[in-house]
Structure formats: C-alpha cells, structure tokens
Structure 1
C-alpha cells in the first residue's frame, strides 16, 4: 500500500489540498442525515483510492459510519468525524479558497482536514497492521447514534489517536466532560391583569432556578455551569404556566460531573404550587490528562525526530469523541489534526504547509514499529 500511495502523490501538499476541497464542497451538517450520507460515500471513495480498500459501512440508527480495519498485534484506532456545524448553502456565500499558506471553507478546520491527513498518513505506511480508522457522522451533536459503535471499536484497541483540529498547533491532552440538562417548570396560568394572584408564575420560578443553577459552577475546579436557552409563557397578558431552561456543564473530572449532576437532580421549586422536572445528564466523560500523557511524550519526540521542532499539549473546554474512549480508560491523544483557527466560526482556516507535517506526525505515531513506544 505504501509504495502505491507514494506513486500517486503521498504527502503531496497539492494532493491534500485538492482532497480537502472535495470534502469541503460536499456539505455535511450533522442535522441533515442525507447530506452526511453523501459525504460518507465520497469519503469512502477517497479512502478506497488512498488506502486500497473499501470501508465497512456500519449503520448507526439512520446514520452511517465508515470503518477500515487491518489485522495485527499492536491495536490502534484513528477516530474522526465527517459532519460539520454548517448548514447546506453555506458554500454559496463562503466557497472553498486556498493559497500557499491557508485554505478556508466551511468545516475545513473542524475537521475535514483531519480526515484528509488521516487518509494520507495511513496511506504512507508500508505496514498498517493492527490499525483501524473510524469516521462517524454525528460528533457535532454529541454522537447520540455513534457512541455505542465508538465504544465497541475502542474496547478492542490499545491506543486512540484523534485528528481533530489542534489548539493553535498544540495537541489536546485534556478535554472537559460535558453534561446537558433541560429543567422544565410547571406553574399555573391566570389572567395577568384580572387575577394574577391565582397563577403560579413559571417565569419567576425559572428566575430562581437560573440563579441556583449558575451557583453550582466552581471556577477553582475548572467547572462551568451555564444556563443557556430560556423560554416561558404564551401571551403578554397571561401568567406563564410553563417554562424551560437548558444548561451546559463542563467539568475536568468525573467527580465534578457527578457533583453537578447530583445537585441538578436535587433542585426544588421555590414558589408554592410550582413543580420541576429535570431531563438530560452526562453526555461525554472528561478526557483526563493521565490518559494522554504517555502518548504526548511520544508525539513530542516524533515531532522532533521529523525535524519540525517543539510540540506542546494543552487543556481545552470543548469535547470530542475522544472523550468517550478516554472515559473507557484507553490512552487517547487528541488535536492531531489541522493547524489553523476559527472552529465553528465563519472564516475557519487551516495552514496549508502543516497539512503534510501533521499527517507525517500521525503516521509516525500509528506505525507498528513506532520507536518511541
């Protein structure tokens, strides 16, 4: 496989840019299942061309995931996703562009460049034995369909490498866990002008709950508890009978996730006659630093050996599917993908010269004879 890939332009910057253009121009928002299927078909074609093998197409609910596997004793998983946050039609106002330094387009940084880098990295290996490549299509919405598959595949490997976008070039060695909640308030409607005293105002109850929820954060522990989307009421002259607040929680440790979870479920109404119901819970466990430290040391050495200089590891607040594998206790290294900026923001971009460098780094880490292992 390695020699064939070399003949077709392995680690060739222009080839990687053209593959990136192909993927970016196939829009694939998470919420559009048909669009993610089209992108999966395109990625499968690219994979067959570069890797010399078609993937196994795995159904996860309405969605599909792509899995390439090569048997071997040292079991490694490269894990990524092909969905983006950008709706169909974004390309019309923001087309893919590139020059010698930067490429830009919806989803290029998070994380279609990472898919291209993974393909080219694996294609460069003379021996990919023991390697698996899994690409899913619902990461950006919390992987509700893909999580069981990710965990099933991860339980069969010894190490996981995630070519998600880097943090200004640094690898992501710690990610916060994510919990998501919806707090529903039931009150009682009444005429706001004639007899408001007969109602139970869901908006006032929500105000009490928002303050109680926000107080659960702990800055010293790195835990954020953020009330986000708030809604209540029907008309201006009616005491609101119902309301809802959604809550985003980020925590560095499982202990902090558990603390906030218990406190959320212990919330009680303040107003007589009001009732609460709490939905949601823990979405992704944290990727704790202890799960990535050894892999980071290998990556730092490999980056030096390749002649690219120094490489750092940082903690970030965002989550990825690597949180699931780290939560199983499997060594996981994230942020191995594109160097660039602007994830989820219009104008996101990737460094063109770093496309090949990061692909070379990933190849060094996943090859069976990695000397730093």
Structure 2
C-alpha cells in the first residue's frame, strides 16, 4: 500500500458513518463496566454499539489502532491505557476531565493519561482522527532507555503506568510542522493495514519509538521557545544502568553506584515505574532469553547462564509463570 492508497482508505466513508451522517449522529451507547474489543485491553464507561472495522488486523499485542468514527461525538469515558491521538486531517474538539477544552489540529498529536476522563466532539467528513491505545506493558524499561533524562514526555509516561502516581492528564504536541510525525504515522498505519508478517511487531515497536522520540523533540523545542526549564530525573539514569548491567547488577550494587540507600532506590523505582528492581532486571533477562530462543540454537541452559541466572530452578518457575510454557516449548512455538 502506498500513501495515496492509504489516504483513500482513511477518507472513505464506512456504512456506519453514512448512517450517522443521515441520522444526525444519534449513537446508542451501551453501559458497561468492562468491555473488550477484539480481545484487546478495553475498559470504558461507555462503549459504542457499532465498531470501526478499517483496522481490523492488529499487528501488535499491546497496541490497538483505530480510525475515529465520524459524524458522531464520543461521550465522556476513561480507560486504563495510554491514548495517543493523531489528527490526520481536519480538526476536532476534545474535553479532558470536564475542564480542559482543546482543539486538535491537523498534524498535531495529543497524549491522554490513564484514568483521565475525556470526550470528543462531533466530526465531519474531512476530520480524520487516528487513535492509538497503548497498554501499560508496552512501556518497558527498554522503551524508556531511548530517551533523555530531561524529557517531560518520559516523566509523563512513567507517571501514567504508575498506579500510585498523581496523573498529569494530557500533553498536546504542536507537531503540525513536523514532517517526521506524518511520515512515521503513515508507515505505522500501513503496517496495521498490511497482512501480518514475522517482523510486524518489531516494525511497530520501532515506529512507535520514533514517534515518541520526535514528540519529545517537538515538546523540547516548544519548551525552549517558551523559556521553560525541564528538571532532571534520576530514574532514567538508573534504568539505563540496569539495562547495561542486568546480567550481574544487584539492588545493593546499583544503590552503591548511585550513592543511594537500597531501600530508597527500591521505593523510588516502584513509585516511578510501577515495577520493582527485581522485575526490571527480570524484564531485561527475559527479553534476552526469548530473543535467543527465537533466533538461535544455543542450548537453553547456556542461554539462561548468559542472561545472568544462577538458579535455573527459579528461572524455569518464573518463565512458566510468564509465558505458560517451558523455554524449549517457547522455542518450538516461536522460532
């Protein structure tokens, strides 16, 4: 699919949109405490009765992408994922927590925090809004390691995945002049519209990383123009240290490296990322193990040793809890 074909697909009215246009956007909502959309992570106060099926194929287990249904407003709702909105064409009105009223313009992006109530005003035929819903599991320490310690966007994301944090609600990015955002978003949508391939998840991961890196640059440039000061955040230095030393580092050695009390460092990580030190280290080790299992024939015990595990019994127990199978079974099913 090329960009012209993508544009035609995005602008084409679906039967449900023609129905809403003819009926004046009267949409029935079903009240539900929990609802699921095609097996994805889905929790809203209200769920539309009809669905947008343009992106029927979902290329990533932790990301759901959809084109907003035109000619109908979306009533106030919230959910437990991070939402990223991209205004492909036209504009739309958004309200967050009943107090903040925004106009999202063509080329701009809006990131909405978990558990923030928000609604969308009525849209016309030229108002094409793309919504991406990102599950908390997507935001691993590997994702965070790509960013600068001074990034406000990263602090926002760390806050969003923390259950105990005071959520920041939203960030509006004036990205209309960024050619990269448009390019990365078009490539991302094409990946979701194309048939699944073995590289789909990796392609999506890298495109999302590029989008967030560009958004961080957009925000930083806007902050500099506005004269805002962006404070440091030591958490990212710790995350990078863990990423570089996950095979051998301990809570005590990491705390000593940063001149911190181990209990304080442990509490800081849990509060900032919603993961314990052990979970962060294990996340890196599992990422290494699964990559090796999928792409090499190195014996399982050797892979476990290289990942930094000395207690293989503990490893096998945790691996089975996370993946529901043994490493050998995982290799057979995923290689």
Q: Tell which has more relative contact order, 1 or 2 (C-alpha 8 A, sep 6+).
A: 1
Give the TM-score of the pair, scaled to structure 2: 0.28
**Structure holding more strand per residue:** 1
Question: Which of the pair is proportionally richer in helix?
Answer: 2
Instruction: Specify the structure having the higher radius of gyration (Cα).
Output: 1
TM-score by length of 1: 0.26
